[in-house]
Amino acid sequence: MCIALIGGMDRLERVYEQEAKRFGVKLKVFTKPTRNLGERIGDSDAVIVFTNKVSHTSKREVMNEAKKQSIPVMLCHACGVCSLRKCLEQICPIKTKGGNS
């Protein structure tokens, strides 16, 4: 599964990716304004948008592209690792070492 993360803090990018890996998810992180952002999320299974760290224009572009391609979008106001974890828990079940979900 591949999820695009829009927004967030640059310094947490590696931590975001490690947290997603715990869920068996490949995370594409876009913390900075990016050209053709809508096109870059095209092959994602879902999108998470940290709304407090992204411009209205970028959010609108992502939302429009996701709607066109029927990609589920989760909006989250906070941008911490715990916020990402909560979003991932709702999108996919956690894979623990003991095998219990």
pLDDT digits (tens, 9 = 90+) for 7-40: 999 999 999 999 999 999 999 999 988 888 888 8
Fold of 2-91: Rossmann fold (3.40.50)
Domain assignments of the chain as residue spans, ordered by start: 2-91
**Could you give the C-alpha distances from 51 to 1, 55, 97, in angstroms and in order?**
22, 8, 32
Angle at 85 between CA 67 and CA 38, to 5 degrees: 25
- Contact status, residue 28 vs residue 62, Cβ threshold 8 Å: no
pLDDT (mean) for 83-91: 92
Question: What's the pLDDT tens digit per position in 39-67?
Answer: 888 789 999 999 998 889 889 999 999 99
